[in-house]
Amino acid sequence: MKFLDQAKIYIKSGKGGDGSISFRREKYIEYGGPDGGDGGRGGDVWVECVANLNTLIDFRYQQHYKAKNGTPGMGRNRSGPSGDDCTITVPPGTQVFDDDNETLLADLKQVGDRVRLAKGGNGGFGNAHFKSPTNQAPRHANPGLPGEELTIWLRLKLIADAGLLGLPNAGKSTFLAAVSAAKPKIADYPFTTLHPNLGVVKAGNRDFVLADIPGLIEGAHEGAGLGARFLGHVERTRVLLHLVDCTEENVAEAYQTIRNELAAYAADLADKPEIVALSKIDALTNEELQTRFEELRSASGKRPLLLSAVSGKGVNEALFAIIRQIENQQAEDQAAEDGPPKPWRP
């Protein structure tokens, strides 16, 4: 299945049914009267988050979604049935934007989240609604109200526990393939990964979801390289594993390039917990590796991990470091939900 994280679609809710103009005519009934029923209500357009999707590829083949119109009212005070709703199913992490691609209409993070995007039109009143002592034979009814029309953008931001960051060819896809059952494309040229890949990692007695984000370059937040669209996937992660290729001439500059892009895209991204690691360590001698290690530690202010996804060196240490950060973030989120402790009272 191809990965698609952005789509533009057109939605329209149903029109309300017209009210009916009708009069009662029965044998042996001396006085009739108005008996026109009301029109049915138009269907709504909903967007719902479901569990069995992980891409927006379906919206490439269908861009128009319309709810059913309400049925007009009928005689004998029969109201028309309401139109059926239209439900658009999306994967977790989908955001809905207005036509300007900036105004956020809905943010669906969890399975079961459901938001109404377009309300159906109300049905019109039949002439029975207008009868009164001074108007015993009304000959008018209300038309149904029109539905709402919208052009919206759907934008998917993957929800993963951890994300892999780094310049192109930093070894992210190789690391993901080594620790999970995912099969990303791996080659010895930049921009091998053209869309994010997800893998489920099992380490010890814990499982977590790891996302491989396509390589970023300087100016990515302004659209350079693969652009800023993939930076959005980083927002949903709890911790970042920043891989720096130890064969780079200047590992400090490589590290700082990614950090600058994160800060330029969104300030909160720069504050996310980060684990720094030197990748492809089996490609250098011990003396060269020690030099790169000191340079990266000075630039990042952290003690970087040393790993090689090909040989497996340092991979388990990186996985357990990720798990510790995920558990810390989960504990902080739970504490924030519970709020401050209540004072004890006898």
> CA–CA separation, 170 vs 309, rounded Å?
11
Let me know whether 184 and 280 are in one domain: yes
151 and 181 fall within a common domain: no
Question: In this structure, what DSSP letter does residue 138 have?
Answer: -
Taking a C-beta distance cutoff of 8 angstroms, is the pair 114, 61 a contact? no
Which domain-ending residue is among 122, 141, 156?
Answer: 156
User: For residues 188 and 240, which has the higher predicted lDDT (pLDDT)?
Assistant: 240
Residue 60's CATH number: 2.70.210.12
Lowest-confidence pick of 122-131, 192-201, 248-257:
192-201
Domain-located, residue 343: no
* DSSP helix/strand/coil, 139: coil
Task: Please give the residue that has the higher pLDDT: either 219 or 117.
Answer: 117
Same domain, 233 and 141: no
Predicted confidence (pLDDT) at residue 249 exceeds the cutoff of 80: yes
Helix (H) or strand (E) holding 202: strand 197-203
Establish if 267 belongs to a structural domain.
yes
Whether 56 and 108 map to the same domain: the answer is yes
Q: Which of 156, 176, 208 is the last residue of a domain?
A: 156
DSSP 85-135: PEEEEE-TTEEEE-TTS-SEEEEE-STT-EEEEEPPPPPPPPGGGG-BTTB
State pLDDT tens for residues 128-158.
Answer: 999 999 998 999 999 999 999 999 999 988 7
Same domain (yes/no): 125, 184? no
Residue 89 burial by Cβ neighbours in a 10 Å radius (0-12, 13-18, 19+): middle
Tell whether 278 and 147 lie within a shared domain.
no
Distance CA 166, CA 212 (A): 10
* Secondary structure of residue 206 in the 3-state scheme: strand
Q: What are the C-alpha distances in Å from 16 to residues 20, 39, 70, 77, 204?
A: 12, 7, 5, 17, 58
- Nearest 5°: the CA angle 9, 12, 14 is 155
Convert 184-212 to b/e letters by CB count within 10 Å (16 or more is b). Answer: beeeeeeebbebbbbbebeeeeeebbbbb
For residue 346, the number of C-alpha atoms closer than 13 Å in the C-beta half-sphere is 0
Asked if residue 344 belongs to a domain, the reply is no
* Cα 181 to Cα 185: distance, rounded to the nearest angstrom: 13
Q: Are residues 93 and 188 in the same domain?
A: no
Does residue 183 lie in a domain region? yes
pLDDT in tens, 272-299: 889 999 998 988 888 889 999 999 999 9
Please state, in angstroms and rounded to a whole number, the distance separating the CA atoms of residues 70 and 126: 14
267, burial (CB in 10 Å: exposed 0-12, middle 13-18, buried 19+): exposed
**Token representation of residue 246:** 């130890």
Confidence of residue 2 (pLDDT cuts 50, 70, 90): low
Q: What is the pLDDT of residue 248?
A: 86
Which H or E run contains 177?
helix 172-179
With bands split at pLDDT 50, 70 and 90, how would you rate the model's confidence at 53? confident
Please tell me whether residues 220 and 321 are part of one structural domain. Answer: yes
Confidence of residue 114 (pLDDT cuts 50, 70, 90): very high
Tokens of 72: 């007009």
Residues 116, 187, single domain; the answer is no
The CATH number for 181's domain is: 3.40.50.300
- Whether 345 is covered by a domain: the verdict is no
Q: What confidence category does residue 346 fall into, taking pLDDT thresholds of 50, 70 and 90?
A: low
Contact criterion met (CB below 8 Å) for 108 and 47: yes
Token pair 């491989």: residue: 212
Number of domains into which the chain is organized: 2
* pTM of the predicted protein model: 0.74
Task: State whether 139 and 166 are in the same domain.
Answer: no
**Cα separation, 305 vs 301, whole angstroms:** 13
User: Has residue 124 been placed in a domain?
Assistant: yes
pLDDT at 88 over 90: yes
End of a domain among 129, 156, 183? 156
- For the chain, helix (H) and strand (E) counts, in that order, are 5, 14
Query: What residue numbers bound the domain in which 238 lies?
Result: 162-338
- The reply to whether 346 falls in a domain is no
Report the distance separating Cα 121 and Cα 87, nearest Å. 17
Each residue of 13-47: pLDDT tens digit?
Answer: 999 999 999 998 888 877 788 999 999 999 999 99
Which run of H or E residues covers position 323? helix 315-338
Assigned token pair, 169:
């060819």
Let me know whether 173 and 316 are in one domain.
yes
Together in a domain, 170 and 318: yes
pLDDT higher than 70, residue 210: yes
